[in-house]
Amino acid sequence: MQKNKTKKSNKISKKLIIAAIISTVVFMIVSVAVFYTLFYRKSDTYELMFPDLVGSYEQDIKSDSRFNIEKNYIFSDIYPKGVVISQSPNGLSAQKIPSGTVPVLTLNISLGKESFVMPDLLGKTPAEARRILRQMQCNAQMVRIYDDADECISESVIRSYPEANQTVFVGDEVIIYVQAPRA
């Protein structure tokens, strides 16, 4: 009976030793994999700090191989033509970029004040002239010039300042001179 117990005991001991060896080997493999992942594996992203270009002139911006530049042009009453108004991502902000990709820096660049060619308002009624100027986002100031002549029976624009075909900007004041009959 003792022999039987010894054989069983030896079998159990061998099984425990084998299980301990297998557990140790598995533990070592997992440890090496975790260590490699944490310390030696290449990252799938990299960090890039974008330059702050707001306030710079477009002509002074140098190309940069780390990112592509996309430009949007918008009218601005505040910034002169060619100045960067805003950007995305913001300047001096660090961004995580996926490896193998080239990020895009979007710049909004001023076109200056929006301008129009002054239309010919001669012969228009004051209401028509004001409607046209309102559509151009210009302010209309009317100056009436009274006429004693019999041919003047209704009000009409006889001159404008600025004159037709000149450049006017949004928000500019346009003077319309209206010939009006004497009452």
Mean pLDDT for 108-135 is 94
pLDDT tens digits for range 146-181:
876 656 677 899 999 999 999 999 999 999 999 887
Strand 104-110, strand 68-74: pairing: parallel
Q: What is the mean pLDDT of residues 58-81?
A: 93
Output DSSP code: residue 83: B
Is the pLDDT at 82 greater than 90? The verdict is yes
> Mean pLDDT throughout 59-71?
92
Question: pLDDT digits over 29-46, tens only?
Answer: 878 777 776 666 566 888
Q: Are 103 and 69 in contact (CB under 8 A)?
A: no
At 85 the pLDDT is 96
Q: Look up residue 152 and give its amino acid.
A: C
Which whole number is the average pLDDT over 48-69?
92
Q: Is residue 1 over pLDDT 60?
A: no
Average pLDDT over residues 98-107: 91
| Spatial separation of the C-alpha atoms in residues 9 and 12, rounded to whole Å | 5
pLDDT of residue 44: 86
Residue 182 reports pLDDT greater than 90 = no
Mean pLDDT score of the chain: 86
Contact between residue 160 and residue 121 where contact means Cβ atoms under 8 Å apart: yes
Give the pairing type, strands 139-147 and 173-181. parallel
